[in-house]
A and B are shown apart, each in its own frame.
Chain A
Amino acid sequence: MIYARKDILGIEELTKEEIEHILDLASSLKEINERSIKKVPTLRGKTVIHLFYEPSTRTKMSFDIAAKRLSADTYSISVSTSSVVKGETFLDTVKNLEAMKPDIFVIRHSVSGVPHRIARYTKASVINAGDGSHEHPTQALLDMLTIREHKGTFDGLHVLIVGDILHSRVARSNIWGLSKLGAHVTLCGPPTLVPKELESIANVKVLYNLMEILPDADVLMVLRLQRERQKQSFLPSLREYSVLYGITNEKLKKAKPDLLIMHPGPINRGIELAPDVADGPRSVILEQVTNGVAVRMAVLYVLAQRNLP
């Protein structure tokens, strides 16, 4: 068994072989989503609980569709973190749900490390659907699948990630995944949001001048800029951010013609990405969404495999 772990908590701890195994599986499961009857019995009788402490319509929907297409029974629980104030801790909640014998927890939380602590507690498998500013492994896997479909290989591929890396779980998971698969990763944005320390966590380069590096990129990953960063004194204004780091067709004149443009969504149109770029020919943003379902099916599948006779 190539993937023998109980959980999928992050890309950092995965090997290249494990990542490629999940991507291969996702490629082969993708065809199910094109059928007229989009359902296979693989996870019949398995219980999947989506435990979301942070609102996320898209990721939850994507996981739910993936689980249902594999015939799992799914349940969704949205918990506001203010229930902490009411006295029930996240471990209390998990203890209660654990008593109902679920097979897989899909967990999203605004605080880093919560899925990891739950995974240590529960016998069920845990899938990290995004923890704080830490990891979002299924997003990175769907990004890698999308890149592989277009570029064929990661060897020597130049991937540029632009934006608020400091607060981005999408960036961290991709940094670890892409560098393991052999891509050259460059991180770009203002120094307040792209700390130099990132060069110590993986084999990546940090640069602050977008136009210095954009012409070399094969893949451009644009991150969502949270509007509150301006108030927290990371930025003088959204306008200045978009002048320096916003992706426009003007800036893209210097880019490679076959540059792939990606975004984890939802987009702040006109801030990090101009509308005509988001909808333009180089954009693969909707393919990312399609691949999201396939990757989540693959992840559910490898975890459920562990428990099959």
Chain B
Amino acid sequence: MKNSRVRRLKDAHPATVLFKGVRVVDPANNLDQEMDVLVEDGVFKEISPRIDIPDPCNLKVIKADGLWLLPGLVDMHVHLREPGEEYKETIETGTQAAVAGGIVAVASMPNTKPVNDNPAVTKYILDRAKEIGSCTVLPVAAITVGLAGETMTEMAALIEAGAVAFSDDGKSVRSSQVMRRALEYASIFDVPVICHCEDPDLSRNGVMNEGVMSVKLGIRGIPRIAEEIVVARDIILAEYTGARIHIAHVSTEKSVSLIREAKKRGVKVTAETAPHYFSLTEEILETYDSRFKVNPPLRTQSDVEAIIQGLADGTIDVIATDHAPHSPIEKDIEIDFAAFGMVGLETSLAVSLGLVRSGVLTPAELVKKMSQNPADILGIPYRGICKEEEASFIVVDPNAEWIVDSTEFYSKGVNCPFEGKKLVGRVELTVCRGKIVFGRGEYQWLVE
């Protein structure tokens, strides 16, 4: 039995609750201090150092000593698998996992079956999200039809249907000419093109990072240059066309420095990394466990340090999960045949809080990278914790220790690289668009 409760957005109740003495961290509104926060009917009514409990009191009052109240997180890189691979994940289970991880909006990648390369699929995703979702779903549409890297999708129609960005994630657009045209064309709409950077000739048949470990273990390597060459290409294309790009899942030291230099030159480039790229290294493949097979692959300690440096100095704007759920059919097999990918929605905040404890990021900087920055890059309205605004926020216990057990996950994915690990920091309550969609432990009753 799960010690938590989750609700669909359409069935959830508006929040009416008073938090006493909660640490509010919201860089968008310059907040990082202990406050009392009053939410009424899903709207922030008052945020001030002291709010008296009314008498008589018909409010739920939470004494929130030691807890943090943050804006709801935005995860700009998620594979929800619906339509087409519902046995791996659905919009229902994926958004449940999201709110359990404190995420109130997920950008869903287009490599579904069928591919989200036409407005009917985009509309289907949005309709399903409205019907059974627990949080906001922001569809990312394909750059090219069928992710085949040849013909551009009808971007205007896709945006009209609700797409927020374009990506052929899972593959690079192989032709530099097609990519160039797509960047030029997308700049009509001021939406980001999200680049999965991988030279398929260099990475072909590879399973793990190429280097000492792959040679030692006898596992075929994916060289770092497969990523870096395409990061460099896409930066050069963005610079040439003046278009806006966002580099997905940065995993190497050289990629970080290419992006850093490009930003200095004024190229319109933003970048994300995922928690596994700053917390795990290739050594873990020694177990030959397919859970650690991911694309791009886990790299070396010096890459991890460069990623952390890139997060600290602002080169990397966003922490996203690249949540890629699979079933045992794809994962519990020989490592060469296993699918790439890891689940991350229910562990990303806890893993990322490690960066705060080690002094790499302040709590406010972490919130920016997991909430405000991705929202800004995707161009969705963002208010944060602000009086008279619809409330989307989470309550986090930054000191709660827990052992990762994927059988407790809302996600159907079994491929969690942190299985059995102790993590610190846990989401207790999630409110999305004014509605209480998730509560854990003593906050479960709020979901009723």
Mark A107-147 against chain B: 1 for CB-CB distance below 8 A, else 0. Answer: 00111111011000000000000011111000000000000
Please state if B218 and A89 are interface contacts (CB–CB under 8 Å). no
Please state if A201 and B332 are interface contacts (CB–CB under 8 Å). no
Partner of A89, one of B212, B215, B288, B333: B333
Please state if A84 and B337 are interface contacts (CB–CB under 8 Å). yes
Q: Is A81 engaged at the interface, CB distance under 8 Å to the other chain?
A: yes
Please state if B334 and A134 are interface contacts (CB–CB under 8 Å). no
Q: How far is the CA of A131 from the CA of B220 in the complex (A)?
A: 13
Chain B residues contacting A134 (CB-CB under 8 Å) are 217-219
Please state if B332 and A91 are interface contacts (CB–CB under 8 Å). yes
The answer to whether A117 and B212 touch (CB under 8 A), given A89-B332, A89-B333, is no
Stretch at the interface among A27-35, A42-50, A192-200: A192-200
Q: How far is the CA of A81 from the CA of B336 in the complex (A)?
A: 11
Please state if B212 and A200 are interface contacts (CB–CB under 8 Å). yes
Q: Is B354 engaged at the interface, CB distance under 8 Å to the other chain?
A: no
Q: Is B211 engaged at the interface, CB distance under 8 Å to the other chain?
A: yes
Chain B residues contacting A91 (CB-CB under 8 Å) are 332-333
Partner of A117, one of B217, B288, B336: B288
How many B residues touch A, CB cutoff 8 Å?
18
The answer to whether A111 and B215 touch (CB under 8 A), given A116-B288, A117-B288, is no
Please state if B211 and A113 are interface contacts (CB–CB under 8 Å). no
Q: Is A263 engaged at the interface, CB distance under 8 Å to the other chain?
A: no
Mark B215-229 against chain A: 1 for CB-CB distance below 8 A, else 0. Answer: 111111000000000
A-B residue pair count with CB separations less than 8 angstroms: 61
Q: Is B25 engaged at the interface, CB distance under 8 Å to the other chain?
A: no
Partner of B334, one of A81, A135, A198: A81
Chain A interface residue count: which class? 20 to 34
Q: How far is the CA of A133 from the CA of B289 in the complex (A)?
A: 16
Interface residues of B, dominant DSSP: loop
Q: Is B335 engaged at the interface, CB distance under 8 Å to the other chain?
A: yes
Chain A residues contacting B337 (CB-CB under 8 Å) are 81, 84, 111
Please state if B333 and A201 are interface contacts (CB–CB under 8 Å). no
Please state if A169 and B218 are interface contacts (CB–CB under 8 Å). yes
Mark A79-111 against chain B: 1 for CB-CB distance below 8 A, else 0. Answer: 001001001011100000000000000000111
Partner of A113, one of B219, B220, B329, B332: B219
Q: Is A172 engaged at the interface, CB distance under 8 Å to the other chain?
A: yes
Q: How far is the CA of A169 from the CA of B216 in the complex (A)?
A: 10
Which residues of B in the span 290-344 have a Cβ within 8 Å of any Cβ on A? Answer: 329, 332-337
Please state if A109 and B334 are interface contacts (CB–CB under 8 Å). yes
Please state if A114 and B334 are interface contacts (CB–CB under 8 Å). yes
Partner of A172, one of B212, B218, B336: B218
Chain A residue nearest to B338 (CB atoms) is A111
Please state if A195 and B215 are interface contacts (CB–CB under 8 Å). yes
Partner of B215, one of A90, A117, A132, A198: A198
Chain B residues contacting A169 (CB-CB under 8 Å) are 218
Chain B residue nearest to A195 (CB atoms) is B215
Q: How far is the CB of A137 from chain B (nearest CB, A)?
A: 13
Q: How far is the CB of A95 from chain B (nearest CB, A)?
A: 12
Q: How far is the CB of A140 from chain B (nearest CB, A)?
A: 14
Q: Is A166 engaged at the interface, CB distance under 8 Å to the other chain?
A: yes
Q: How far is the CB of A167 from chain B (nearest CB, A)?
A: 8
Q: How far is the CA of A291 from the CA of B218 in the complex (A)?
A: 26
Mark A140-183 against chain B: 1 for CB-CB distance below 8 A, else 0. Answer: 00000000000000000000000000100100100000000000
B→A interface (CB under 8 Å): 211-212, 215-220, 287-289, 329, 332-337
A→B interface (CB under 8 Å): 81, 84, 87, 89-91, 109-114, 116-117, 131-135, 166, 169, 172, 195, 197-198, 200-201
Given contacts A91-B333, A197-B216, A201-B216, 18 further A-B pairs with CB under 8 A are A84-B333, A90-B333, A90-B334, A110-B336, A112-B218, A112-B288, A113-B288, A113-B334, A113-B335, A114-B288, A131-B218, A132-B218, A132-B219, A134-B217, A134-B218, A135-B218, A197-B212, A200-B212
What 6 pairs across the A-B complex have the smallest Cβ distances? A113-B288, A134-B218, A133-B218, A111-B334, A112-B218, A197-B215
